[in-house]
């Protein structure tokens, strides 16, 4: 291999590295300030199977055998173990992972704030700034912002979207996933 071949290969590598750095810089320069409102979630949300198990355990019904208890005692036992319908049940969750200095994130802020207020009976809306809290980005495997992740009430990830997502697109996706979001 000649000296010119080595130079060409090194130049090609240098161009690739510079292109990658330029792309990273462009992503970092999309900056504006995002208002902190109802969707700002600085507290960690546990979506592990352990927390999902806790919620399903609270709804389980234990049925005693007839040999051990009378039918009246059994009915009383069943009523005591069924979750009260007025208790807060977990809701599906929309998590937006972005940054307070990101143009698409800033464009989504009023949409997410409005959805957090008007659809709070149907699903939760949370925002994590992964520039301020990079562990959230790693936790959710975020590579590009904004990223929206749709979770079922049991914590199962249903869908993931990257980039700007309008109000109608978000509500349409919930409906497509079989989640009631009202009118």
User: Is-contact 166 111, C-beta < 8 A?
Assistant: yes
For the record, the structure tokens of 118 come out as 């008007």
Which residues neighbour 137 within 8 Å (Cβ) at sequence distance 6 or greater? Answer: 97, 128, 130
Which member of 102, 130, 170, 181 is catalytic? 102
Q: Which of 30, 177, 46, 171 has the alpha carbon at shortest distance from 112?
A: 171
The sign one gets for the Cα dihedral 84, 88, 94, 97 is negative
Q: Which of 105, 149, 171, 179 is catalytic?
A: 105
Q: Is-catalytic flag, 32?
A: no
Does 105 qualify as catalytic in the annotation? yes
Instruction: Tell me the Ramachandran region of residue 28: left when phi exceeds 0, alpha when psi lies from -120 to 50, beta otherwise.
Output: alpha
Name the burial class of residue 151, with classes exposed (0-12), middle (13-18) and buried (19+) by CB atoms within 10 angstroms of its CB: buried
Distances (CA, A) of 1 to 4, 7, 128: 8, 11, 51
Count the Cβ atoms, other than its own, within 10 Å of residue 56.
Answer: 12
Enumerate the active-site residues: 102, 105
């Amino acid at each position: 291999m000649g000296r010119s071949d080595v130079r060409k290969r090194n130049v090609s590598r240098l161009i690739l590295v510079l292109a990658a750095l330029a792309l990273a810089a462009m992503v970092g320069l999309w900056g504006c300030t995002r208002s902190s409102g109802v969707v700002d979630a600085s507290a960690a949300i546990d979506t592990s199977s352990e927390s999902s198990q806790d919620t399903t355990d609270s709804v389980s019904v234990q049925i005693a055998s007839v040999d051990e208890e009378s039918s009246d005692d059994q009915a009383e036992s069943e009523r005591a173990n069924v979750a009260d319908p007025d208790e807060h049940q977990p809701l599906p969750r929309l998590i937006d992972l972005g940054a307070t200095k990101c143009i698409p994130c800033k464009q989504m802020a009023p949409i997410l704030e409005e959805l957090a207020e008007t659809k709070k009976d149907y699903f939760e809306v949370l925002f994590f700034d992964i520039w301020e809290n990079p562990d959230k980005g790693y936790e959710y495997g975020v590579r590009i912002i904004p990223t929206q992740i749709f979770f079922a009430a049991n914590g199962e990830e249903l869908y993931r979207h990257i980039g700007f997502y309008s109000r109608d697109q978000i509500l349409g996706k919930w409906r497509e996933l079989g989640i009631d979001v009202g009118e």
